[in-house]
């Protein structure tokens, strides 16, 4: 694991210390790592949403679509749990 040193104004340092104690983090490093992970997740979700928004339209998702999925799951369960889904 690499080490990174950061400088914070006193007000931010106090805020981090409060969050660590109030939210059950063991150290300020754990808190910062959690913030970074959340930001990564947020960026990944944003990229997925942008990719979806710019993709070609597909078949409408309606009750017929979901019933087809249910039938595939039922069939897979009856066939011994081998789902007929492809990646």
Q: Are 43 and 64 part of one and the same domain?
A: no
Q: Are 51 and 62 part of one and the same domain?
A: no
Q: Are 43 and 61 part of one and the same domain?
A: no
Both structure tokens of 34: 């959690």
Dist CA 32 CA 7 (whole Å): 13
Q: Are 31 and 63 part of one and the same domain?
A: no
Q: Does 4 reside within a domain?
A: no
Query: Residue 70, Cα to own-chain centre: how many angstroms?
Result: 25
Q: Are 37 and 48 part of one and the same domain?
A: yes
Residue 63 has pLDDT above 70, yes or no: yes
Q: What is the pLDDT of residues 4-60, one digit of tens each?
A: 999 999 999 999 999 999 999 999 999 999 999 999 999 999 999 999 999 998 888
Global pTM? 0.63
CB 76 within 8 A of CB 82: yes
Both structure tokens of 52: 């979806």
């Amino acid at each position: 694991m690499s080490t990174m040193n950061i400088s914070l104004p006193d007000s931010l340092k106090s805020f981090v210390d409060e969050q660590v104690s109030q939210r059950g983090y063991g150290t300020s490093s754990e808190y910062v790592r959690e913030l970074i992970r959340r930001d990564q997740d947020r960026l990944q979700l944003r990229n997925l949403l942008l990719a979806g928004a710019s993709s070609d339209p597909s078949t409408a998702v309606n009750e017929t679509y979901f019933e087809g999925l249910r039938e595939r799951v039922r069939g897979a369960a009856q066939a011994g749990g081998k789902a007929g889904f492809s990646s």
